[in-house]
Amino acid sequence: MQENNSGGSTRRDVLKRIGAVGVTGLGGAALTSGTAAAKPTVDWEPAHSSNYTAADRGAGYIDWVIIHTVQGSASSAVNWFQDPDADVSAHYTVAQDGYKYQSVSDINIAWHAGEWDYNQYSVGIEHGGYVSGTYEDAQYRASAKLTSWLCDQYGIPKQHPSSVPYDAANPANGGVIAHSQVPSSTHTDPGSNWDWGYYMDLVRSY
C-alpha cells in the first residue's frame, strides 16, 4: 500500500486497494469518519442492455465523473438510452428542475465518454438543456450533491483538473471533468456557460 509523505495511507489509497469490494470496512462500517451520507434519490429508468457494458466495478475502477449536456430535455435523453438502437447511455441524468434519473448502475460501464478508457473508469452525468443556454441553480445543486456522493463513495478527488491524461486508469489522476476534456473528444459540452467554480464549491460543500 502506498503511503503519503506523513507516513499514513490516504483514503484514496485505501479505496483503490480494496477495489471492487466497495467502500465499507469490516462489519459494514464506513471508511470515512462519521455517518456516511445517503445516496441522493434518483428515479430508476434503466437503459436498454444493448447500450452499455455489464461489469463489476467498484472503488478501484471509478476515477472520474464526466459532466455532459443533453442538447435537449432530460426525459428525452432517458428515453433515448432505452432505445436498443441508440448505442449510447449515461449513468445519471439531471433535469433543469433538479429531478434525477439513473439509467445505468454504477458498477456497469455506460457509453458516454467517446473514449473507451474513460468509459471504463468513469461515471457519466447528463444534464437537460443546451450548451448555448443557461443552467438552473436547482440543477447545479442536485447534480453537485450527486457528484459529491459519488466522489465519497468511490474515492474520486473533489477537483476539476484543467487537463487530463490519456491514461484514464492511472489512480493518481481523477476528478470531475467536462465531456469536452476527454481525450479525442469532439464534443463541447457542458460549454462555457457551465460555472465550474460554483459547481465545484457545491460539490465540496456537501
Per-residue model confidence as pLDDT tens digits over 51-81:
999 999 988 899 999 999 999 999 999 999 9
Give a yes or no: residue 196 inside a domain. Answer: yes
Cβ neighbour number for residue 32 with a 10 Å cutoff = 14
Among 90, 60, 91, 77, CA closest to 156: 60
Span of 132-136, 138-142, 168-172, 193-197 with lowest mean pLDDT: 168-172
8 domain residue, yes or no: no
Three-state SS across 172-199? CCCEEEEHHHCCCCCCCCCCCCCCHHHH
Could you list the residue range(s) of the whole structural domain that residue 48 is in? Answer: 39-205
Specify the CATH number for the domain of residue 155: 3.40.80.10
Between 52 and 5, the higher pLDDT residue: 52
pTM for the model: 0.83
State how many domains the chain has.
1
> What average pLDDT does the segment 1-14 reach?
33
pLDDT band, residue 37 (cuts 50/70/90): confident
| Assigned domain for 193 exists | yes
Query: Is 21 domain-assigned?
Result: no
Q: Domain for residue 107, yes or no?
A: yes
- Please indicate whether residue 152 or residue 28 has the higher confidence score (pLDDT): 152
Contacts of 4 (CB under 8 A, 6+ apart): 10, 13
Under the banding of pLDDT at 50, 70 and 90, the label for residue 33 is: very low
On whether residue 121 sits in a domain, the answer given is: yes
pLDDT at 171: 56
The answer to whether position 2 is within a domain reads no
Alpha helices in the chain (DSSP H): 11-18, 74-81, 116-120, 137-154, 196-205
State the pLDDT confidence band at 49, using cuts at 50, 70 and 90.
Answer: very high
135 domain-assigned? yes
